[in-house]
Amino acid sequence: MHAGHFARRISHDGRSGSSLPGVAEILMGVTGGIAAYKSLDVLRILQRHGHGVSVVMTHTAERFVGSASFAALSGREVGTHLFGDSEQPGYHHLDVNDGKDLMLVAPASANTISQMASGSATSLLTSCYLAFRGPVVVAPAMNTSMWLHPATARNINMLRADGVHLVDPESGLLADGAVGPGRLAEPTAIVDAVEAVLAGGSAGRDLAGTTVLISAGGTREPIDAVRYVGNRSSGRMGWALAAAARDRGADVVVVQANVDLPREAGIRYVDAPTAAAMRDACRAEFPGCDMLIMCAAVADYRPIDAASGKLDKSRADALTVQMERTTDILAELSALREDQVLVGFAAEHGPEGLERARGKRQRKSVDIVVHNDAAVEGAAFEGADNIITIIGPGESEQALPRMSKRQCAERILDAATPLVEALPSGA
């Protein structure tokens, strides 16, 4: 078997995928990690969406999942060797790349990421990468220590700088029993990212040259030295927006309140744990941004005169905490805006919420308000998904089905980016 056989497309439904709109030919690289078996799922979902998938594997990947599984599912030969011998065929990387619209590496081991970052091309997979001229999506997976190692962070930053689209790993229980970041993103999220890149084509970096300011998380307003009034916001929506804006080429600043999620490369973070701190930080960053997305859940009220020590519970049976209104940051910045696009969030509760969100958009003079109903399971706080309605720009309104927060982020940016392009400054 020679390279020509590999390059020939034998898609599962017998047609060449890339000739159909929205359907692509994908080269999927699989590397040696415990999550290699999940790439079988990625492959199946890509196929279900109509894409043609050809697989190349590193030698180590073959120790985790046999190439026969990928060959059977893809209906194509699987590339493993650069040089053939009497036992194994060799594949010419240029032939392998031929006709492919996008390269995906999932899972991407720390080792392969390092090779890709340095331009080393000792395997078929890394040779393909170095010779590949289309967009590349990389989904890393490794244990937390490897992921957090400065060398890996450095390599990831280099890949980003080279224009590679990263699908960041999730936090959770890993194969070694530890809990932390490093787990391969869900196969559906990887496919979402691939399709978002395909949809963007060469304009995938449509926010290049712009600065996007995003507030994320939930503020905590002190009652005393140890207690606070807070909310359930996890920061996931803001994190997804930040990653999406960064991947579309923006300089991203996140003003974050109490978010316990791993910080990502290529994003600048400013800590602002209270409503007052968030107001100060947003005001300081606002003049330099082209787009503001206020996604944080900022307290509407804060206790007046928080006690400097810890309140003594033996003093009384009941405690009354007097609260005062905080500043409405979005309304304040809207009044200050010169040449910027403003996106607000409205986490409303119940059936009248959508109407309140529409009113909020009018009242605060913002371009887009993203409504989510905190009363609906699977929407708004904490989870990986959201159910949103994008109100604006203009008279438009998009009620979207439940989808991952990353997908929501892409749809929000799809709506807001044309407004940035239309700014007088032409940002």
Ligand X SMILES: Cc1cc2nc3c(=O)[nH]c(=O)nc-3n(C[C@H](O)[C@H](O)[C@H](O)COP(=O)(O)O)c2cc1C
- Residue 214 — φ and ψ, nearest 5°? -130, 130
Determine, following the binding rule CB under 6 A, whether residue 60 of this chain makes contact with ligand X.
Answer: yes
Site for ligand X in 23-42 (CB under 6 A): 31-35
Between 60 and 67, CB nearer to ligand X: 60
In the bound state with ligand X, the residue whose beta carbon lies nearer, of 183 and 360, is 183
Residue that the structure tokens 């060398």 belong to: 151
* Nearer Cβ to ligand X (35/193): 35
Asked if 110 touches ligand X (CB under 6 A), the answer is yes
Of 221, 145, 212, the C-alpha closest to 177 is: 145
Task: Pick one of 61, 104, 156, 216: the residue that binds ligand X (CB under 6 A).
Answer: 61
Binding part of the chain for ligand X, among 108-116, 214-222, 325-333, 401-409 by CB under 6 A, reads: 108-116
**Is residue 45 classed as helix, strand or coil in its secondary structure?**
helix
- Are 28 and 39 contacting, i.e. CB atoms less than 8 angstroms apart? yes
What residues between 113 and 172 interact with ligand X by CB under 6 A?
123, 141-142, 146
Catalytically active residues, by annotation: 231
Residue 417 C-beta: closest distance to ligand X, Å? 34
**Which residue in the shown chain puts its C-beta closest to ligand X?**
33
Which region among 17-25, 55-63, 201-209, 258-266 touches ligand X (by CB under 6 A)? 55-63
Residue with tokens 């331009």: 119
Q: Output the smallest distance, CB 97 to ligand X, in A.
A: 18
Residue 330: strand, helix, or coil: helix
DSSP H or E stretch at residue 213: strand 211-217
Distance of alpha carbon 134 from the chain centroid: 20
Closest approach of Cβ 100 to ligand X, in Å?
A: 20
With contacts defined by CB under 6 A, how many residues of the chain interact with ligand X?
16
Exposed (0-12), middle (13-18) or buried (19+): which is 398, by Cβ within 10 Å? middle
Cα(216)–Cα(278) distance, integer angstroms = 10
Q: Interface with ligand X includes 204 (CB under 6 A)? A: no
Interacting positions 208-227 with ligand X (CB under 6 A): none
From candidates 18, 39, 111, 127, binder to ligand X by CB under 6 A: 111
Q: Nearest distance from residue 31's CB to ligand X, in Å? A: 3
- Please give the Cα distance from 92 to 128 (Å, whole number): 9
Q: Which H or E element spans position 197?
A: helix 187-200
In the complex, the smallest distance separating the C-beta of residue 160 from ligand X, rounded to whole angstroms, is: 18
Angle at CA of residue 25, ends 162 and 77, nearest 5°? 105
Instruction: Provide the 3-class DSSP secondary structure of residue 412.
Output: helix
CB of 43 to ligand X, least distance (A): 17
Binding stretches for ligand X (CB under 6 A) = 31-35, 58, 60-61, 109-112, 123, 141-142, 146
